[in-house]
Copies of this chain bind each other. A is one copy, B any other.
Amino acid sequence: MSDGPVPVDASPTRPLRLRDLSEEDLLARIVPVYAAACGREGDVLLGPGDDAAVVAAPSGSVVATTDTMVLGHDWRDDWSSPQDVGDKLVTQNVADVAAMGARPTGLLVTLAAHQDLEVAWVEGFAHGIARAAAAYDVAVVGGDLSGAPEGVVMVTVTALGDLEGREPVRRSGARPGDLLAVHGSLGESGAGWWLYEHGYRPDHAGPWSGDGEPTPQRRRAGAMDHLMWVHRTPVTHPGSGALAARAGATAMIDLSDGLVRDAGRIARASGVRIDLDREALQRDFVAALPVSVLPEQVAWQQVLTGGEEHSLVATFPAGSSLLRDQDDPDGRWWVIGRVLPRGEEEPAVTLDGAAVSGQGWDHFGG
């Protein structure tokens, strides 16, 4: 033991809380964490510490979007670590930028919390933000700290992006004859949520722990862990959004509220019907879920309506080279449907021509 004073945060019985620090002390702890996410060279003209940040907008325009997560509403502390929350919040926002066909350039991060919140939570959250931002090659350029009522933790990210000279890919450009394709997974985040809801918990040891070859039981546990991990920290692929834009995507959206609901947004904005292909969805996505744990009906439900996946869904002219030559290092675009004219009284989204039940998420449950 040293003879010097014991730092105030060294006691295991008394965790350091926001009330113990001034705003400047707290910033001094988290700004260096964010500094690890410095983005692409030339993107940040002025970083945190002034009244506002300055981010490069070489195209002469900036893409901007914002998303909020609320404790008890968008995450549970017994499921998600603060790192998970920061990671997911960045992904949600970057996915919205990617869905315009843009490259993310800067993030603003807001935390509103009661002064009882542990400083360790805030530091973990900042590490999650920084980890995801670094993975997506985007900088944290500023933000805000705010007090909040007891028990409240609320985090917001605003993401900025650059279109690299392209037009934005809107929801309204889908035309009859186009094909609908998805980049990334379908139903995994929703299946992970279903597992949590049904009492499963990750076995962080994983299927390759212990001696010898993984047993079927351990493989099954590993598949379940994977789904719960996707639910806690989904991933998106901004480079694939930009690639789709270059390849002539006519409409694009990121999957926040489920395939049926989000494809419906494209269909309504474009004045078309989107017909999902049951066989393609079954072969490429439903069959990929571990039906030994998840009833097949649940797998279908999550593929069609599971939220918070943050994969990209886009429409392409039928002959698009991107759908032929799948050269994206981040993975391929899977064709899962086609765009048709929409007759009066027809639903916006159908599955093999028939209406689909289940609509995905609504943030107020109305």
- Which residues of A are at the interface with B, using a C-beta cutoff of 8 A? 18-23, 25-26, 45-46, 49-74, 95-97, 99-100, 102, 106, 108, 110, 112, 115, 141-149, 151-152, 154, 156, 158-161, 163, 168, 170-171, 252-254, 269, 362-366
Contacts and interface: CB of A to CB of B under 8 A. Distances in A.
A39 to B, nearest CB: 13
Contacts of A21: 364, 366
A112 B69 CA distance: 9
Given A64-B160, A110-B156, A144-B68, A364 B55 contact: no
A161 B73 CA distance: 32
Contact of A26 (B50, B55, B364): B364
Contacts of A148: 70, 73, 152, 154
Nearest to A254: B51
State the oligomeric state as a number of copies. Answer: 2
Given A19-B364, A21-B364, A21-B366, 11 more contacts: A50-B170, A51-B100, A52-B99, A52-B100, A54-B163, A57-B57, A65-B108, A66-B144, A67-B144, A73-B147, A110-B156
Contacts of A159: 52
Contacts of A252: 51
Given A57-B57, A170-B50, A64 B18 contact: no
